[in-house]
Chain A
Amino acid sequence: MPAALVALVTALACVLHQDFWLWRSARPLVFGFLPAGLAYHAAYTLGVSLFMWLLVRWNWPSHLEERDGE
Chain B
Amino acid sequence: MIQAGVVFAYLGLVLIIGVFGGRWTRQENAEGYFLAGRSIGPIVFLLSLFGTNMTAFSILGASGHAFANGIVTYGLMASSSALIIPFGLFLIGTRLWALGKRHGFMTPVQMFRDRWECGHIGTCIFAVQAVLLVPYIVIAVMGGGTTLASVSGGRVPYWFGGAIVSMVVMGYVFFGGMRGTAWVNTFQTILFLSFGAIAVLVIARGMGGFSRAMENMLASPATAPLLTRERVSPLYFFSYTFIPLSSLAFPHIGIFCLTAKRLAHFKKTVVLYPICMLAIWLPSVFLGVVANQALDVPSIATKIEARQTLAAEGASLPVERRAELRAAASGDDVILKLVDGYAPIWLASLLGAAVMAAVMASDSQILALSTMFTEDVFAFYGGQARFGEAVQVQTGRAFVVILTLIAYAIALMAPQSIFDLASQYAFAGYSALSPLLVAALFWKKSTKWGALAVTVWTAGAVLAIALLQASIPAPGPGAGVPVLSLGGTAVISRVASGTTVMGLLPVVPMTLISALLMFVVSSLTPRARPAAATLARYSI
Q: Which residues of A contact B271 (CB under 8 A)?
A: 49, 52-53, 56
Smallest CB gap from B278: residue in A: A45
Enumerate chain A residues within 8 angstroms of B270, measured Cβ to Cβ: 52, 55-56
Which residue in chain B gives the minimum CB-CB distance to A33?
Answer: B210
The reply to whether A49 and B274 form a contact with Cβ atoms under 8 Å apart is yes
In the assembled complex, which residues on chain A have CB atoms less than 8 Å from the CB atom of B102?
Answer: 67-68
Contact across chains for B86 and A52 when beta carbons are under 8 A apart: yes
Interface residues in A23-70 by Cβ distance below 8 A to B read 23-27, 29, 32-35, 37-38, 41-42, 44-46, 48-49, 52-53, 55-56, 60-62, 64-65, 67-68
> Bound complex: CA of A62 vs CA of B267, how far in Å?
11
Least distance between A38 CB and chain B CB atoms (Å): 4
CB of A26 within 8 A of CB of B78, answer no
Q: Which residues of chain A are near B285, meaning CB under 8 Å? A: 38
Asked if residues B275 and A46 are in contact (CB atoms below 8 Å), the reply is yes
B263–A62 contact, CB under 8 A?
yes
The distance in angstroms between the C-alpha atoms of A23 and B262, with both chains bound, is: 43
CB neighbours (8 Å) of B229 from chain A are 22-24, 37
Interface status of B218 (Cβ within 8 A of chain A): yes
Residues of A within 8 A of B71 (CB): 35, 37-38, 41
Is B286 an interface residue when CB atoms closer than 8 A count as contact?
yes
Minimum C-beta distance from B35 to chain A (A):
15
Q: A26-B227, A64-B98 are in contact. Are A17 and B83 (CB under 8 A)?
A: yes
How many Å lie between the Cα of A20 and that of B75 in the bound state?
11
Q: Is B273 an interface residue (CB 8 A)?
A: yes
| Contact, CB under 8 Å: A56 / B90 | yes
Per-residue A-contact encoding for B249-287, CB less than 8 Å = 1, 0 else: 000000000000011100100111111011000100110
At the interface, yes or no: B337 with Cβ under 8 Å from chain A?
A: no
Name the CB-closest residue of B to A56. B267
Using known A-B contacts A42-B282, A56-B90, determine if residue A68 contacts B224 with beta carbons closer than 8 Å.
Answer: no
Tell me, yes or no, whether B214 is within 8 Å of chain A by CB.
yes
Q: Is the CB of B274 within 8 A of A48?
A: yes
* Interface locus among B24-32, B230-238, B480-488: B230-238
Q: Whole-angstrom distance from the CB of B26 to the nearest CB of chain A?
A: 22
* A4 on interface, CB distance cutoff 8 Å: no
Q: A26-B228, A35-B228, A48-B79 are known contacts. Are A65 and B272 too (CB-CB below 8 A)?
A: no
How would residues 201 to 233 of chain B score, 1 for a CB under 8 Å from any chain A CB and 0 otherwise? 000000001110111001000001001111000
Contacts of A48 in B (CB 8 A): 79, 82-83, 86, 274
Q: With a CB–CB cut-off of 8 A, which chain A residues contact B277?
A: 45
If the complex has contacts A37-B75, A48-B86, are A65 and B263 also in contact, measured as CB distance less than 8 A?
yes
Q: Does B455 interact with chain A (Cβ within 8 Å)? A: no
Mark each residue of chain B from 2 to 20: 1 if its CB lies under 8 Å from any CB of chain A, else 0: 0000000000000000000
A49 to B272, CA, bound (A): 7
- The answer to whether B264 touches A65, judged by C-beta atoms less than 8 angstroms apart, is yes
A37-B75, A45-B78, A45-B278 as given contacts; A10 in contact with B87, CB under 8 Å: yes
Is B80 interfacial (CB 8 A cutoff)?
Answer: yes
Q: Which of A17, A49, A55 touches B241 (beta carbons < 8 Å)?
A: A17
A38 to B264, CA, bound (A): 33
Asked whether, in the complex, the Cβ of B228 is within 8 Å of the Cβ of A25, the reply is yes
Quick one: which of B90, B215, B224, B289 contacts A55, CB cutoff 8 A? B90
Considering the chains assembled together, what is the distance between the CA atoms of A52 and B274 in angstroms? 9
Bitwise, A2-32 to B at CB < 8 A (1) or not (0) is: 0000000010011001111011111101001
CB <8 Å contact, A64 and B94: yes
Any A CB within 8 A of the CB of B408:
no
Considering the complex, which residues of chain B in the window 65-82 have a beta carbon less than 8 Å from any beta carbon of chain A? 71-72, 74-75, 78-80, 82
Interchain CB contact under 8 A, B98 and A18: no
Of the candidates A29, A38, A44, A65, which one forms a contact with B98 in the assembled complex, judged by CB atoms under 8 Å apart? A65
Does B95 interact with chain A (Cβ within 8 Å)? yes
Nearest CB of chain A from residue B273's CB, rounded to whole Å: 7
Q: Which residue of B lies closest to A61 (CB)?
A: B94
CA–CA, A32 to B75, complex, Å? Answer: 20
Is residue B445 contacting chain A, with contact meaning CB distance below 8 A?
no
Q: Closest B residue to A34 by CB, please name it.
A: B286
**CB 8 Å contact bits of B51-71 with A (1 = contact, 0 = none):** 000000000000000000001
B97 contacts the other chain (Cβ, under 8 Å)? yes
Q: Using Cβ atoms and an 8 Å threshold, which residues of chain B touch A38?
A: 71, 74, 227, 282, 285-286, 289
| Residues of A bordering B, CB below 8 Å | 10, 13-14, 17-20, 22-27, 29, 32-35, 37-38, 41-42, 44-46, 48-49, 52-53, 55-56, 60-62, 64-65, 67-68
> Can you name 7 A-B pairs with beta carbons within 8 Å?
A18-B237, A37-B71, A41-B74, A41-B75, A45-B78, A52-B90, A65-B262
* CB-based closest 6 A-B pairs: A26-B227, A64-B98, A33-B210, A65-B263, A49-B274, A35-B227
